[in-house]
Amino acid sequence: ASIVNYLKNYYYPDEKMGTQLVKVYEKLQDCRYGENWDQDAAYYRDVNAKYGLHDLKKLGGKEISFNNYLDIDSCIQILLDFGTENHVTAILKHTSPNGMAIDRKTQLKSVEMAFSCDPMSAFGGIWGFNQNLSKEVADYIINKQKIFIEVIMAPSFDPEALEILKTKPNMVILEFGNLLDYREEIYKFPEIRGILGGVLVQEYDHKPIVKEWNIVSNKNVNNIEKNALIFAYKVSKWAKSNSACFVQTYDTGMYTIGIGAGQQSRVHVVNLAIQKAIEFGHENALIDSLMGTDSFFPFPDGLEVAVKAGAKAIINPGGSIRDNAVIERANELDCALVFCGKRVFRH
């Protein structure tokens, strides 16, 4: 496979997708079952991939399941998008984020704020961190919140944090070292999805989240609001389409207050994000919030619902045949509207 792919790249360097695809995979683990109990499953690694989930070191817990691997993969890719500069906490369920936060000062604050978004869905979820996990955070999760977690993952762990985490013998503890430093190398390989009788191949969605920064409304945004909008859009990228994410800022960071995902209608997903924000005590935080949604508004109704709930600025890629009507409505409602030029669907 390595020779075939090398020759293809040598003789056809400009061909993005070859006429033939040759890949070799090596089995690393039989899973207890697949996505459901009656399905057989196994985990294979691409023998040519230098970096990937095979780099993760399991420090405790039960056998990693098929569904765990899907969630772990999503979590790593989310963390790759956010880097290691600030304290990032990502809480996922069924591969979609249900709470995220960035804090410039402390890891514990990012955990508290991410957990506050949707503490109900955090039960049985995957918790990921972009920096060494502290004893303070482990104590907060295990002893203070006493929440059941399927998988917890970080680049490294304080020894005292590991002691606390290992009091939960079934919780999978994963250490991924400096994997986040190899974003460029990881995304050199294509994304492959199986379909009946074949596969679909595409490059990973790894390009900058904002292709352009086009403020199409009369109302502008400041730098804090700009960063919060980019944060909201990144979270929307990783929630299943259609998606919408409301965020709020505080003195040392920003956090999600309502995430809607997996809806067939954009206005419905905006409503869902608002409903979840209200359910978990963020009704006041919706006032002057910022929202991202993964594609354009086909009609002004989604924007109207978001602004009625309190959003003061919204980001989406633009591209609808009714963009002018949406822009006009944003101006009427005194809402800042940014078109970033890049759609972030996730099926």
Q: What is the pLDDT along the chain (347 residues), one digit of tens a residue?
A: 555 555 455 434 556 677 888 889 999 999 999 999 999 999 999 999 999 999 999 999 999 999 999 999 999 999 999 999 999 999 999 999 999 999 999 999 999 999 999 999 999 999 999 999 999 999 999 999 999 999 999 999 999 999 999 999 999 999 999 999 999 999 998 999 999 999 999 999 999 988 899 999 999 999 999 999 999 999 999 999 999 999 999 999 999 999 999 999 999 999 999 999 999 999 999 999 999 999 999 999 999 999 999 999 999 999 999 999 999 999 999 999 999 999 999 99
- pTM across the whole model: 0.94
- pLDDT at position 18, please? 76
The pLDDT of residue 20: 83
Tell me the pairing of strands 336-339 and 125-129.
unpaired
Q: Which CATH class is domain 214-339?
A: alpha beta
Give one word for 197, left, alpha or beta, with left for phi > 0 and alpha for psi -120 to 50. Answer: left
Say what the pLDDT of residue 13 is. Answer: 52
Q: Which pair of tokens denotes residue 145?
A: 């919140």
* 90 in Cβ contact with 235 (< 8 Å): no
CATH 3.40.140.20 spans which residues of the chain? 51-183, 214-339
The pLDDT, as a whole number, for residue 19 is: 81
Fold for 51-183, please state it: Cytidine Deaminase; domain 2 (3.40.140)
**pLDDT of 16:** 67
